[in-house]
Amino acid sequence: MESKPKKRSPPSAHRTVREMSLSASISQHAKKHPVFAAEMIDVCLSEAIQKRASDVHLQPRRDGWEVYYRLDGVLQLASTFPHDEKTNPVARLMSLAKLPSYMGGIPQEGSFQWNDDRNQSHELRLGIFPTLYGNRAAIRIMGEAGSVFKTHELGIDEKTESRLKRVCESRDGWLLVAGPAGSGKTTTLYACLQHIALGHENRSVLTIEDPIESVIESISQSQLQPNSGLTLASAMRSAVRQDAEVLLVSEIRDAETAETVLSASMTGHLCFSSIHSGSLGSTLRRLVQMKLPTYAIQTGLRGIVCQRLLRATCKQCDGKSQTEHRCDACHGTGYQGRIPVVQLTEFDGSDFSCRVFDRLECGATADEIDGLVHESGRPSLRDLAMELVTAGITDAAEVFRVLGSNG
C-alpha cells in the first residue's frame, strides 16, 4: 500500500482561536451553557458557508467532538474540541430545528433558517443519529434559491450540451440521469427543466420531488409530504391528469414508480428522473429487474445520462498545495470546484440502440452492454474523464478516486 491513511494531528492543533478562547471562558458561563454551544455552532456554520461546504458533520467520539466539512464532495476534518458536560452542540442544533430533545435514542430530521454574519439567510437541513457516544448531527447547507444552472453553465462540452437540449425539446420519452449519490444528477435535471421553462413555447411542467432542492420560476414543483400516504407513483398518476406535458419524478427507487413514469413517457409526456446506478448497462439492467418489458423500455426511453463529478485542479497552486506551502484558495486540498463528466447516450432507433435492446432482451449483463458502447466507438465515462486530465482540468488521482480502477 502506497498511500497510508493520514494521521490525525492532536486535537489542539485543529482548534480555532475562537474555540480555545471559548473553552477558557466556559467556566464563567457554566450555568449558562447554551452560550457556548450557540457560539460553537455559529463559528462552525459561518466557516462552513464561507468555505462553500455542502455539509457539516458533528461526530461525538470518546474524547470529544470532531467537526467535518464536505468540500467539493469530500469530507475533511475541520476541527476537534473536547466534551463538556455543560454544553452539547447537537442539542443546540436540535433546539434550532425545534426537534424534541426528550425523544432520545432515535434518528430525527428537521430544518431551520440560519443567518450568517452578513445577515444572509441559509436553509439548513438537520439529521440526528444516535451513536455510542451520543447523537451525531449531519447538516446539509441548501443551495440558494435561484442558483439553478442553465445547460451551458453545467460545465459540459458544447456537443453534449446541444444533444441534451435536443432531448429537452422532444415531445415525449424519458430521460434518465444515472450516477451515485452526490454526482450532480439533480443539477443536470434542474438545468433541463430550466431550459424548458426559458423556452419560447409555454409547456406545462410539473415536478414531484423528495425534497425540492431549488426553486425554478414558472414551473410547478411539489414535494411529497411525509405521512400524506402519497407515494411517488400515486403522485405521478395524479400529475398525468393535471394536463402536464413535462414531468419530473426526482428519483426512481421502486418498480411501481418506474412503471408509471415509463407509461407516461409513452403517452405524450416528456419525463425526467434520476436513478442510482453506475453505468448505462447497470441502469438498463435495473429497469429490467424492475420488471419493465424490454420493448416498453425501448419505446419510452429517449436517453440515459451517466455522470460523475470530478474535483478540478486548483488554479492558484496548480494542485501543489499539499507538497508546498498551504494554498488559501483550495484550503490545502489541491482542488477547487468540481466539473461534471457526462456520457449521454440517446436511443433513437439507430443500429446501436437496436443492438443494445436486442442484447438486453437476451439477458446480457451490465458489463456486456457497456462493452457494446466501447465496440461502437463511443467514449466511456473513463475515456471522457481522461480527456479532462489531458486538458489539465483535473488529474488521474481524482479520476481514480471517483471511477476506481475499472468502469
- What residues between 319 and 348 interact with Zn ion by CB under 5 A? 321, 327, 329-330
Q: All 3 cell numbers of residue 100?
A: 424534541
Residue 17: is it exposed, middle or buried by C-beta count within 10 angstroms (0-12/13-18/19+)? exposed
Stretch that binds Zn ion, among 4-12, 244-252, 277-285, 314-322 (CB under 5 A): 314-322
CB of 329 to Zn ion, least distance (A): 5
What is the Cα Rg of the chain in Å?
24
String of contacts with Zn ion for each residue 269-308, x by CB under 5 A: ----------------------------------------
CB of 79 to Zn ion, least distance (A): 20
Helix/strand/coil (H, E, C) string of 77-127? Answer: EEEEEECECCECHHHHHHHHCCCCCCCCCCCEEEEEEEECCCCCEEEEEEE
Please give the order of strands across the beta sheet that includes 134-141: 74-82, 64-71, 55-60, 134-141, 121-131, 108-115
Nearer to Zn ion, 137 or 312 (CB): 312
List 204, 316, 350, 365, residue binding Zn ion (CB under 5 A): 316
List 314, 369, 372, 384, residue binding Zn ion (CB under 5 A): 314
Under 8 Å between Cβ of 232 and 253? yes
CB of 153 to Zn ion, least distance (A): 23
Nearer to Zn ion, 137 or 327 (CB): 327
CB of 72 to Zn ion, least distance (A): 12
User: With CB under 5 A, what is the number of residues at the site for Zn ion?
Assistant: 7
Q: All 3 cell numbers of residue 170?
A: 422532444
67 binds Zn ion (CB under 5 A): no
Nearer to Zn ion, 258 or 327 (CB): 327
Amino acid at the residue 273: S
317 binds Zn ion (CB under 5 A): yes
394 binds Zn ion (CB under 5 A): no
Q: All 3 cell numbers of residue 95?
A: 433546539
Stretch that binds Zn ion, among 19-27, 158-166, 315-323, 394-402 (CB under 5 A): 315-323
Nearer to Zn ion, 324 or 351 (CB): 324
Q: What is the distance, to the nearest Å, from the Cα of residue 60 to the centroid of all Cα atoms in its chain?
A: 25
Please give the order of strands across the beta sheet that includes 173-178: 220-223, 205-209, 246-251, 270-275, 173-178, 301-313, 335-346
CB of 74 to Zn ion, least distance (A): 14
Q: Which residues bind Zn ion (CB under 5 A)?
A: 314, 316-317, 321, 327, 329-330
